[in-house]
Structure 1
Amino acid sequence: MNKQQPPKQAPAAKAPEVLQAERLDFVDLVPDDRPRAQPMRGFDPIYTDIVDYIIRCTHKIWDERDVGLIYTHYTHDCVVYGATGTIYTREQVVQDTIQRMFMLPERRGMATQVIWRGNEDDGFYTSHLVTGSGRHTQPGVYGKPTGRNFVARTIADCMVFENKIYREWLVVDSMAQIKQIGLDPQDYAENLAQGYFDKGLLSIDIGENGRLSGQYPPEAKPDLEIAHNDLEEQVLIWLNDIHNRRMFGKINEVYAPTVQYHGPLMKELYGQAAVIHQTVGFYASIPDGHFMPQHICSVPCDEGGHKVAIRWVVEGHHLGWGILEDLGAPTGKRVQVMGMTHLHIRDGRIVDEWVNYDEMSILMQIKLAQMADRPSAVLPEA
């Protein structure tokens, strides 16, 4: 007598993985019927994972014009750190969004990649690289419309908890936009600095930076506390060697010979020599610059290897001639550069690097410091 066989069980459906932006079309990044790919307590049901969240809500706010979503996607006291200023409330975010949306109504921000870490209990951190294109057709902070097109990169780092962004760092390459739409960078930076000067926000030199301690050489080892794994520790060591120890030849070791460099002002360069030149040129403009990583995170990549995001600050003085050519002759003024870097690392070497900082913010700081030097400048009372 044959024993009755138990019915075969259908194979368990494979849990969807967190989305990656690099190889997917937009409609696949904002799916209608995709199940949740990770626990997201407190997030709106429409979001399937943290990458879907950051791409979809950005699109809905900026491209679908649902600006009111900011009230449910930002906390009331969110802080947005920009290269040329800081916003301290949600209402300021709403007002700034409306102004920029009106000035550049044809702008579209396309997600290039999202690098992230976190979970529903601790919150999420995302680093969102966007390539924005559009046309300057309306009046606003850029002045009278020129009708010219532009393409510029933006990186936004966000801290998110239960559907709301409570802290954001935003680096927009506004110098690329200014130049492409035909404005004078010097005039624009002067006007930008004047607004801060009129509020009594003067730039004051606070002395040497932290790269050197007295007459000692730079620290050979970086602070690795912000790293979460061996790869991130290795990247921090590489960056310290190159940027703080000025071992620019290290680039030949850790960058692939075929590396592609995607830099400010929409530079697209190839090869190790190009990366070395851009790095040397940056520190030629700010020779005493101290490179300070603020955050690092990494994710495996469908294209092979890993993507790594680093948010950083460089502090120093404008003491030389370099690739920051719009700064002009060395002024000696103290500057702070907020920047973000995305790396694609495969087989132990960097094959792509995206670097974003805003030269306009550096030029504005110099203009502001020069205003403070004028005999008519009045320092605010203590």
Structure 2
Amino acid sequence: MRAGMVGLLGLLWLGCSVQVAGAPCNDDLQCPGQLHCGLERTCKEGARSQELLAESCRMAVEEMAMRADTCFGGTAEGYLHAVDPTQVCPSVEASVRAGRLEFQPSMFGTCLRSLRELPCGQVSMGLDGFLLNECAAFVPRVEEGGECGNSAECNEGWCRTANTCPGTCARLIPAGRACTATDRCMPGSICVSGTCRQYPGAGEACTSDLKCNPDSNIVCGPEGRCVQRRTSGTCKANDDCATGYLCVRTQPAAKDKSPLECRPTKRLDEPCVPGARECELLHYCDSATSRCRPWPTQGSACGDVNGTDELVLCSGTLCFLGGGLQLICLAPAAPGEGCVFPQDCGPTAACRQNVCTPTWCR
């Protein structure tokens, strides 16, 4: 009996389908027929349907968070603090109700697999269509010039919400065509000096504005050419180091004068040296335990809390100057409130003309 169960689970995790309610699963394709893969990642009775839209959206957000963890470190839980499904998914449901977005339940298994295999250069936890644009289960139904609440609703374009919500679907600019700061270029290109230009590849010329192809694990080197990110040796910034590595201070006590070197990223609860800045994204080295711990949440102190020049930011909130001139984690400004920096408005809005403007309209 035990051997049979082990064999069954082995087949499942290799991608084979098993029609057993309660069996572990990664997606609906492992639970065919009248079963679907639930939030608990077990096969459940009933095929996926429109009634499971909210659950499906949450699973997609979780899948992207796990992919971000794989690509950049930081733990899936940390990304879910920053991009709360309870904030994202009501917008998705509103889009479906308005007919600007179509949910196709039968494609949801394919959707999760595509998110799981997304190239790291395309992984983003921003809200502007970050998961739906790569998910075959959500089909955009708004054409150019039509009213939109977010870019996931736009067919072959993006939602321009610079001045108001709802916004308008705008066309992506092809490489070689003129662009402005408020335009967006086709995937694989970037607006530089008024023109959409293709990202350069390995060995090609680059600048601080014309960045190297983010899908290729390359960076603009000191000679103005795209070179491979390093796994060892000296560095100037984290971008110089390969995925899974950070530009670490080798002499933390020297702070900004310390030599820097690409070293493997330290993950949650691993031993670390305070001030070396060697912990994964969304984490810091706690001086009390000398272990990597998550950034604090609302109401907690932030900034140089260790006194070691270890930068401590906030999870799901922002680091602002609070009472007593102490830096503290506070909620971002609400839509319509004043702002200075893009991050002042949180993940669901942008700072435009010093006012927080929603980028996802419910």
Q: Which interval holds the TM-score relative to the shorter structure? A: under 0.3
Which structure features the higher share of strand residues? 1
What TM-score comes out, normalization by structure 1 length?
A: 0.27
What TM-score comes out, normalization by structure 2 length?
A: 0.28
